[in-house]
Chains A and B, each alone.
Chain A
Amino acid sequence: MEMNKQLYMKRRITSLVGLAFSMTAMAAGLAVLLWILYVLFSNGLSALDANLLTSDTPAPGTDGGGLRNAIVGSLMIVGLTVLVSTPVGILAGIYLTEYGDESKTAELTRFVTDIMLSAPSIVLGLFVYAIAVATVGNFSGYAGSLALSLIAVPVVMRTTENMLRLVPGSLREAAFALGAPRWKVSTFITLRAAKSGVMTGLLLAVARISGETAPLLFTALNNQFFSTNMGAPMANLPVVIFQFAMSPYDNWVRLAWAGALLITLTVLVLNILARVFFREKVSS
């Protein structure tokens, strides 16, 4: 009896230690998130002023300045990426759901898409440099969008597929029974039913690409001046942050923090919005 009690205590203590460790791990994860947010706010808020939106990135050694050209450039590059990757991703996602169970190629495509989701983004930048910068002869906003599309399309594709699969089969069958052709069922019935889920995928894709730096380094490059010409090098927030954060100028570093705060807030808000969208879908 005495032995058993000892053993029992030992097991309980092991369990408690294990669970305490798991709670510490959770606390550490949360602490890092809060710490990063705190650092961003304490360094970035002071640089958030009207100048940020009205003046362009300053030349080396000059005072003040803002991020107008970088913000506009980022919006244009990300906007074009969304315009391109939404139809491509959604149609490809439809293919994987509607025809994907029947063919080996579709299975392979799904597998490769999942890998592309985590592929090193700098290599995608290298690839786009080789096909769209070296051949044309200059860096451009278009090349930047192309590089970002390589990341966004797989995200949209896989979420669209997962969301379409959640649509009950009876809905599809009912439409088929009424004599609707497959393309109508896919676009007007299943896609419509999965609308909010697909929106979730789009929001996540935008969130994912708006902070990506590595693919833009060799494609959109940077531009010190305001420019809306997507055929030329274009300023964008991530690359500006990268350059300015490593620079010796105080006002550059301050602007880098402001840009970092802007990007992080955008990404987090998009993520939370995506979750709200999805929750509405599940509850309705």
Chain B
Amino acid sequence: MSSQNLTQQDSSQIVSDEMIAIAKKQRVQDFFFHRVTQAFSLLVLVALMGIIISLFINAWPTFERFGFHFLWHVEWDIINEDFGAAIAIVGTVASASIALLIAVPLAFGVAVFLTETCPVWLRRPLGTAIELLAAVPSIIYGMFGLFVFAPLFADHLQVPLQNVLGGMPVVGFLFGGATNGMGILAAGIVLAFMVLPFVAAVMRDVFEITPPILRESAYGLGCTTWEVVRKVVLPYTQKGVIGGIMLGLGRALGETMAVTFVIGNANRMPTSLFSPGTSIASVLANEFGEAEALHFSTLFALGFLLFVITFVVLAMAKVMILRAEKAKGN
């Protein structure tokens, strides 16, 4: 009894003023550490707000002058200062949609191969190779598209397509125009290979979280590999797959360099898949240097639109992927 009291007394003596001072000091340090790290992480939110506000302020003269009409006005007349976003929006959406139409099936194939059929020792190197495809800078895709892909595309795809499909009713007009290798379709194809690795990486990751027991039970019932993928893995990972596709869409919409080199940069409404067009990002890259007055604020208006559109698409993608990951937890 007495010895216990003694230790208690000792310890209360050990917790001296000095220790309390240290504890207090550490508390203050911790407080500052908390606030400093918090401030740095809040920088991201500040940047986001800054982007939206500064773009909007600079774009205001254009919005004020054209109103909502700006969105579907088909005109880009720098001399008479008459601007509409429709041409650039159509070019952006068309090239991104073509890119997804090509990239999504391919990405699905790549993800299936990497998770189902690929021998285990090859998974890592092949997965890395696909990730390296994502790492290649977009300007390289642009150069590749301009110097290598466009000439081949003109001779070996555009001419035959135009000969075979150009005369057909209903769809024939899609394949009209000059076959010089540039245009909406060419930009879409180059973009497809740029976004393929992003979509494939998300699909592979969500395919991998399918519980093995689901897969094994399906195989146990006698399903073929393809049936397991289509009827078990794909429904289970649906949200993540859609998220991956939207991530790809976000990338494709905002891509500058790969598109600018091959889309043809013509401020006209595209009339066929082969006709040159322009995208929001490539208008910015090409014209910002020489823009003045209303033209200048119109480019900011386009940038603002692009940012808002991609932000919404990417936010939806993120929500989908988060939900898919939560499902894994259950």
Binding site for B on A (CB under 8 A): 11-12, 14-19, 21-26, 28-30, 32-33, 35-36, 39-40, 43, 87-88, 91-96, 98-99, 105-106, 108-109, 111-116, 118-124, 126-127, 129-131, 150, 153-154, 157, 181-183, 186, 207-208, 210-214, 217-218, 238, 241-242, 245-246, 256-257, 260, 263-264, 267-268, 271-272, 275
Interface residues of B in 41-70 (CB under 8 A from A): 41-45, 47-48, 50-51, 54-55, 57-58
The 6 closest A-B pairs by CB, nearest first: A211-B137, A120-B254, A25-B109, A15-B224, A95-B37, A183-B33
Q: Are B37 and A30 in contact (CB under 8 A)?
A: no
Query: Which of A18, A29, A108 contacts B45 (CB under 8 A)?
Result: A108
Question: What is the distance, in angstroms, from B262's C-beta to the closest C-beta of chain A?
Answer: 11
Q: Which residues of B contact A32 (CB under 8 A)?
A: 133, 193
Q: Are B106 and A130 in contact (CB under 8 A)?
A: no
Q: Are B138 and A211 in contact (CB under 8 A)?
A: yes
Say whether, besides A114-B318, A211-B137, A211-B140, A95 and B307 are in contact (CB < 8 Å): no
Q: Are B307 and A123 in contact (CB under 8 A)?
A: yes
Q: How far is the CA of A93 from the CA of B281 in the complex (A)?
A: 31
Can you identify 21 A-B contacts, CB atoms within 8 angstroms?
A11-B227, A18-B226, A22-B112, A22-B113, A25-B113, A26-B110, A29-B110, A35-B144, A92-B41, A98-B37, A153-B43, A208-B135, A214-B256, A218-B288, A238-B137, A245-B261, A263-B137, A263-B139, A264-B136, A267-B136, A268-B136
Q: Are A131 and B54 in contact (CB under 8 A)?
A: yes
Question: What is the distance, in angstroms, from B303's C-beta to the closest C-beta of chain A?
Answer: 4
Q: How far is the CA of A176 from the CA of B107 in the complex (A)?
A: 46
Most buried by B among A11, A40, A112: A112
Q: Are B29 and A181 in contact (CB under 8 A)?
A: yes
Q: Are A211 and B42 in contact (CB under 8 A)?
A: no
B196 lies within 8 A of chain A by Cβ: yes
Say whether, besides A114-B318, A263-B137, A213 and B41 are in contact (CB < 8 Å): no
Question: What is the distance, in angstroms, from A4's C-beta to the closest C-beta of chain B?
Answer: 11
What secondary structure prevails in chain A residues at the interface with B?
A: helix
Query: Which of A108, A123, A241, A256 contacts B303 (CB under 8 A)?
Result: A123
Other CB < 8 Å A-B pairs besides A25-B108, A126-B300, A153-B44, 9 of them?
A22-B110, A26-B109, A95-B34, A123-B303, A124-B51, A130-B300, A211-B140, A214-B257, A242-B257
Question: What is the distance, in angstroms, from A258's C-beta to the closest C-beta of chain B?
Answer: 12
Question: What is the distance, in angstroms, from A150's C-beta to the closest C-beta of chain B?
Answer: 6
In the complex, identify which listed stretch (B78-86, B123-131, B162-170, B267-275) lies at the interface while the others stay far away: B123-131
Could you mark each residue 24-37 of chain B with 1 if its beta carbon is under 8 Å from any beta carbon of chain A, else 0?
A: 00110110111011
Question: What is the distance, in angstroms, from A41's C-beta to the closest C-beta of chain B?
Answer: 12
Say whether, besides A15-B226, A116-B47, A157-B44, A39 and B144 are in contact (CB < 8 Å): yes
Q: Which residues of B contact A121 (CB under 8 A)?
A: 254, 256
Say whether, besides A91-B37, A218-B288, A260 and B143 are in contact (CB < 8 Å): yes
Q: How far is the CA of A213 from the CA of B142 in the complex (A)?
A: 11
Q: Which residues of B contact A14 (CB under 8 A)?
A: 224, 226-227
Q: Are B251 and A118 in contact (CB under 8 A)?
A: yes
Question: What is the distance, in angstroms, from B322's C-beta to the closest C-beta of chain A?
Answer: 8
Q: Which residues of A contact B29 (CB under 8 A)?
A: 181, 183
Q: Which residues of A contact B147 (CB under 8 A)?
A: 39, 43, 245
Say whether, besides A39-B148, A122-B254, A126-B300, A275 and B128 are in contact (CB < 8 Å): yes
Q: Which residues of A contact B318 (CB under 8 A)?
A: 111, 114-115
